[in-house]
């Protein structure tokens, strides 16, 4: 696969990130299209200016907005955020655009966001902006290491990037975004053993339970799925903690060459295995947003111009 992908899709994790969701102002589609065509130039200029700071960005288009910006050509598998039914609610809160910016310096992350927002100008309205950070040694605020099962090296491309199966969008990626608010007082009231059973791995040294010892309601049990051929269904997670002293949690971000893997994982967590075994971790956190986007390949932005 050639390097026809936005760098932020597969770049290694950073210590700082900003997720900004935007809605396009009515009557602004043409102006937004022009801004999108210029956006990669803005990103490239800043990456050159601050080389060595691991600055990366992804600009993605919301599933419901896609027909407004590209009515004649659509990614084959692009659908809206999945609807699931269960004891836990997973809200669907569409947004038109996503800016996912990350680096190893908060000021640089913020500066690129400022420049991109200036590029779109009054033609967009910010729906939400969430500033994220690396917590300790890449842990969630619950104290457990996050992203342990992420693909590594070149395998990230195989998992996250659309291939020849959709040649018009090869190098693109399907994104699902959710913001979770943790109930940390309730979580910290649990015993260490109860917490570890809910994750299916140890807390201090991050050792996964054996399959025989893993509860059916463990998070790792509910999200470790296989297809009919016995192959693991993988996603590339770019999730990061966020928070203030009043509200905190996880900004969950899934990147994948197909939206199906995330959908199956979400259903497994919420709807369970049909025998009442859902993800017990969901009793300690609440999803407040849910969005589906597609991050186009670089050639798509050039064609807009």
**Domain containing 134 — which CATH number?**
3.30.70.1030
Say how far residue 175 (Cα) sits from the centre of its chain.
6
Residue 280 lies in a domain: yes
* Model pLDDT, residue 147: 87
pLDDT value at position 227?
A: 86
CA distances from residue 257 to 5, 233, 248, 252, 254 in whole angstroms, order as listed: 12, 11, 30, 17, 10
Query: E strands, 34-112, where?
Result: 56-62, 97-103
- Verdict on whether the full-model pTM lies above 0.85: yes
Total domains in the chain come to 1
Which tokens hold the place of 61?
């288009």
The answer to whether residue 294 sits within a structural domain is: yes
CB atoms inside a 10 Å sphere around CB 304: 18
**Per the residue annotation, which of 16, 96, 140, 146 is the catalytic one?**
146
Q: Look at residue 265 in the predicted model and tell me its pLDDT.
A: 95
* Cβ atoms < 10 Å from Cβ of 180: 22
Is residue 2 in a domain? Answer: no
Nearest to 41, CA basis, from 21, 59, 54 = 59
Q: Is 1 domain-assigned?
A: no
Q: Look at residue 2 in the predicted model and tell me its pLDDT.
A: 67
pLDDT below 50 — which residues of the chain? Answer: none
Q: Which domain holds residue 229?
A: 7-304
Q: Are 287 and 176 in contact (CB under 8 A)?
A: no
Residue 161 burial (C-beta neighbours within 10 Å; 0-12, 13-18, 19+): buried
Q: Is residue 261 part of a domain?
A: yes
Q: Please give the pLDDT value at position 188.
A: 98
Is residue 192 one of the residues assigned to a domain?
Answer: yes
Q: Catalytic site residue 279?
A: no
Q: What is the pLDDT of residues 123-149, one digit of tens each?
A: 999 999 999 999 999 999 999 999 888
290: in domain: yes
Task: Assess if residue 210 is contained within a domain.
Answer: yes
């Amino acid at each position: 696969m050639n390097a026809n992908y936005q760098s932020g899709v597969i770049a290694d994790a950073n210590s700082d990130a900003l997720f900004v969701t935007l809605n396009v102002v009515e009557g602004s589609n043409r102006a937004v299209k022009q801004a999108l065509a210029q956006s990669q130039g803005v990103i490239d200029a800043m990456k050159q200016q601050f080389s060595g700071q691991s600055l990366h960005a992804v600009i993605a288009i919301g599933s419901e907005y896609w027909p407004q910006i590209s009515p004649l050509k659509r990614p084959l598998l692009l659908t809206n955020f999945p609807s699931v039914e269960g004891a836990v609610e997973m809200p669907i809160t569409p947004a038109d655009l996503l800016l996912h910016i990350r680096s190893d310096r908060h000021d640089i992350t913020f500066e690129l966001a400022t420049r991109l927002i200036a590029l779109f100008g009054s033609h967009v309205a910010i729906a939400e902006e969430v500033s994220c950070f690396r917590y300790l040694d890449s842990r969630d605020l619950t104290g457990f290491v996050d992203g342990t099962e992420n693909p590594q090296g070149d395998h990230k491309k195989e998992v996250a990037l659309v291939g020849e199966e959709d040649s018009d969008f090869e190098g693109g990626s399907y994104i699902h975004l959710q913001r979770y608010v943790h109930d940390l007082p309730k979580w910290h009231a649990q015993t260490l053993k109860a917490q570890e059973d809910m994750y299916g791995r140890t807390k201090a040294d991050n050792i996964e339970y054996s399959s025989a010892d893993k509860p059916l309601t463990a998070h790792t049990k509910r999200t470790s799925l296989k297809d009919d051929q016995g192959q693991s269904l993988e996603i590339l997670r770019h999730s990061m903690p966020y928070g203030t002293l009043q509200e905190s949690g996880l900004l969950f971000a899934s990147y994948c060459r197909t939206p199906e893997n995330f959908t199956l994982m979400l259903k497994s967590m919420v709807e369970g295995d049909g025998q009442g075994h859902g993800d017990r971790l969901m009793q300690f956190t609440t999803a407040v947003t849910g969005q589906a986007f597609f991050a186009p390949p670089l050639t798509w932005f050039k064609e807009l111009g």
